[in-house]
Amino acid sequence: MGVNSDFKRLNREFFKREPVVVAKELLGKYIIRKIDSEIIIGKIVETEAYGGTEDKGCHVGRYGRTKKTELLFGEVGKAYIYPVYINTYCLNVVAHKDNKAGGVLFRALEPILGIEKIIENLNKDKNYDITKLLNGPGKICKGLKIGRDLNGYDMIEGDEIYIVEGEKVKEDEIITTSRINIPYAGKDKYLPWRFIIKDSKFLSR
């Protein structure tokens, strides 16, 4: 597929659905990141849904509606960027039905374009295993230079980072599992809200 063709951007309506549905349908789509004149493109191969005030795994279920989580209640299609530990961030997109809250976490991407730039951002050398470049939420943010300054950024209207239609992923190519690294979620950690593309070499684990 030619990367210069007219990619169709996802519209606001796409994200006005249950986070679980959005997470699943985001598989195979492309994230476009523009930094000055540089363009980085990654195919979405792994996502997790976080949503609903009942979900003990998501920030809303844990903290309620606070300044931190306010974005998850707001306009869908915006970036929700959350810091974890040191110098590490996670990229989410806000997605929920009206009057609710939720989001989708990007856990792994397949690098498509701008691979040298990604390697540079991660301070890796040329021989670094490409399948491990963006195989984790922290590395996505570092590799695509996504920082707190993009928290709340509108990925529907904005040009610095957005999502476009990609490859159609068949139902039998999708594997559903429970989410990663949320031991605090009680029984909600078993919810089958993680979606991965079967046989992808670019997954987080």
Minimal distance, residue 32 CB to DNA, in Å: 20
Q: DSSP characters for 120-165?
A: HHTT--TTS-GGGTT-SHHHHHHHTT--GGGTT-BTTT-SSEEEE-
In the complex with DNA, the residue whose CB is nearer, 54 or 171, is 54
Task: Look at residue 76 and give its three-state secondary structure.
Answer: coil
Name the residue nearer to DNA (CB basis): 70 or 170.
Answer: 70
Point out which residues bind DNA (CB under 7 A).
Answer: 48, 50, 58-59, 63, 66-68, 72, 80, 82-88, 90, 92, 103, 105, 122, 132, 136-139, 148, 180-182, 184, 204
**Residue 140 contacts residue 47 (beta carbons within 8 Å):** no
Q: Choose between 131 and 173: whose C-beta lies nearer to DNA.
A: 131
Q: Give the residue with the Cβ less far from DNA, 8 or 95.
A: 95
Residue keyed to tokens 């590799």: 143
Least distance to DNA, CB of residue 114, Å: 17
SS (H, E, C) 21-47: HHHHHHCCCEEEEEECCEEEEEEEEEE
Residue 122 C-beta: closest distance to DNA, Å: 6
